[in-house]
Amino acid sequence: LVSGGKSTTKFRSGTPATQLIASMAKALRLSYENMDSDLENVKKLNRYLKDNLLKYERVLINSNEYSIDQILNFSILGVKPETFMHALEEEGVFISTQSACALGDYSKAVLAITNDIDRASSSLRVSLSRKTTKEEINKFLEIFDICYNNIC
C-alpha cells in the first residue's frame, strides 16, 4: 500500500490511470474476439510444421499432446542445438534452444517427457502465434532444409 494523500479507492492513494485501464480493456476485448479461430489456426500451423519436420531422418518431435500449440519442441539427433540455431540465425531465422527457462546442458522438461538424454541435449523450439502465416512456415522450412543438409 502507498500511504498519504486522499484516495478514490480504499486500497491506495492517487487517481487511477483511467486511460490505461480503458486501453487495456479494449486490447483484451480485441484479443478475445477471434481467440477460437486464432487458436485453431495456430494448431493447424503447428501440425503442418511438425509433419514437415518429421520428413528428416534425425528430427524427433518432443512436444506431445499436452504441449501448447504455440510452441513446437524438437530435437535433431547428433547436432548441437546452438550450432543449428546459429546456422538459422545467419539466414535471418531466430528460434530457441531447449525449453523455456532451461538451464544447463539439457532440457529437464524434454528429459521428463522423452526419458532420453540425447533428445534433451539437442532440443530446439519454434514459437508460433496468431500472426504466424503459412508462408512464414514455408520460408522457415526452406531455410531449415538448407541448414539441415549443410550440417547433417
Residue pair 128/38 in contact by the 8 Å Cβ criterion = no
| Alpha helices, DSSP H, located in 34-121 | 35-53, 81-90, 108-114, 117-121
Q: What is the pLDDT of residue 135?
A: 97
Among 48, 49, 25, smallest CA distance to 126 is for 49
Q: What is the pLDDT of residues 104-133, one digit of tens each?
A: 678 888 888 889 998 988 899 999 999 999
Residue pair 23/112 in contact by the 8 Å Cβ criterion = no
pLDDT of 99 higher than 70: no
Q: What is the mean pLDDT of residues 60-82?
A: 94
Q: What is the pLDDT of residue 20?
A: 93
Residue pair 38/28 in contact by the 8 Å Cβ criterion = no
